Structures are given as C-alpha cells and as structure tokens.
Structure 1
C-alpha cells in the first residue's frame, strides 16, 4: 500500500573525533548496525558523509522509519540532527540498499571530499528533496561503478 511507505530525510553534524582510524571504525559500526536493523525493519536508504555532516535518506513503513530516526537522534555520534522531510512515497528510491554508503570507493571519496571544500556543501542549506535527489544520483553512479 503506497500510503504506508514513507521517506525520511535528515542531516546531522559529525560528533565523532576526527582521527581517521576512529572515524572509519565508527562509520563502519554505524553502517553494520544500520544494515542489520534496516533489513529486519524493511528500511532502505543511503548515507553520505561530507564536510563534517551526515545526510541520509530512510525509506520504509512509517513506524519503523520513525523508530530508526529516534535512535539516530539519541546517538551521541550525531549532533544537531535536523529533520528535512517526512513524506509518503509510492516506491523506494534505494530498493537494493539496506543502507548504502555513498563515497566508499577511492574515486568517489576523492570526488565527494572536494564537494564540501569547493562548494561549501552544507546540508542545512538543502531541502529534503535536494538531498534525496543528490543521494539518488550518486547511488546510481555508485552502482554503475
């Protein structure tokens, strides 16, 4: 039923110490836990980290998406968590990703690192639709690579 499927878009500030090894370990832990929880809860989505911010899209049943967002808000690794959109959807944009991490490959990590410094990428200045479109476009590129 289309009305029972929702898309939530948020951004948050990184509160993980920016030691490369500590950061990588924390992101790996976030992704591993998210993938297990999201698969169990029928949630799909994608996560982008750039310029000290996380931007994420979650898709699935409303109660499950809201529960996942509540866990994120309580996670001390995320600060200034801001909900940008929560809308009913007719279909998923990330049907194959329990939680995709955009920018994992060396080529993409280098590309996305430049987005923040050259454009001032700041998800607080983007709408939920803009973040969703960006992540969808990058996910398509990531899957094609």
Structure 2
C-alpha cells in the first residue's frame, strides 16, 4: 500500500448548521473506516478544508467523488503527496467547526483557510503543508 495525503479546499453551496455538520461527520467516519482513510475536516464561514490520508488509488477515487458532490463547489486540490505516516491516525474522520471559535489552534486554522482561499503562502509555505505541520507536533 502506498500511503498518501491529500488536502483540498471547497466552498459549500449553502450555510451548514452544526447539526448538519455532525451528521456529515458521522457519515464520513463510517465511510472512511470502510476504505482505510483517515483525516480531518475543517469548516469556516462556508468553506471546507479537508485532509485525507490513505492508499493513493483510494484517495484518487474519493477525491473524484468529492468534486462531484453537490454540497460544495470551487473544489481546489492543494496537496497530494506520498506520506511516511498518517498525521490523523486516531480518526477515520475528525471535524473542526471554526464557527464556534472554541477550536484548538483556532487562529492558525483560520489563517490557513484564508491563505488557501486567496492562493497565498504562509511564511513561504503552502497552506496545505502549514495545516499538516500544525498537527504533526
């Protein structure tokens, strides 16, 4: 198995309630566990940024499915690289809703999403790599 990490950004087609996001998380956990995918989803102001980890072919198929999902648009692949290990090994999927402003690493995560939306780097590093580095410690 060739382990890879994939990070994408997308904009939701409508405002997502906390209840809807929790239902989405529950569904993603079950789906990802069945296909050996781990990761984390971040939501802020109608924007999603997600890290997915797993076999390369599985991630390619999953990302193709995501790009066709009508719940979001403007999907941008930010990062797709081989990985030596999983950063989010504990979670088939985790979710951080930054709208509640109680999230650990809140300021850094908001900065990462804003940089990704604008297509700019953070201290000469891509937002996707910055995001991965936030959780590797």
TM-score range, shorter chain: 0.7 to 0.9
Alignment: residue pair count: 130
In structure 2, relative to structure 1, the CA distance for the partners of 1:6 and 1:126 (3 Å cut) is: farther
Maintained 8 Å contact 1:47/1:56: yes
Matched, 1:134 2:128: no
Unaligned runs of 5+ in 1: 141-145
Aligned-pair Cα RMSD in Å:
3.0
Q: So what's the TM-score if we normalise by structure 2?
A: 0.77
- Deviation, structure 1 residue 46: 0.7
Unaligned runs of 5+ in 2: none
- Deviation, structure 1 residue 33: 1.4
Counterpart residue number, 2:21: 27
Mapped to 2, the partners of 1:38 and 1:126 lie a distance apart of: 30
Matched, 1:52 2:55: no
Q: So what's the TM-score if we normalise by structure 1?
A: 0.73
- Deviation, structure 1 residue 101: 0.8
Mapped to 1, the partners of 2:27 and 2:65 lie a distance apart of: 11
Mapped to 2, the partners of 1:101 and 1:94 lie a distance apart of: 11
In structure 2, relative to structure 1, the CA distance for the partners of 1:89 and 1:66 (3 Å cut) is: same
Mapped to 2, the partners of 1:139 and 1:50 lie a distance apart of: 22
Alignment map for 1:106-145 (pairs within 5 Å): 107-108=102-103, 111=106, 115=110, 121-124=114-117, 125-126=119-120, 129-134=126-131, 137=134
- Deviation, structure 1 residue 135: 5.3
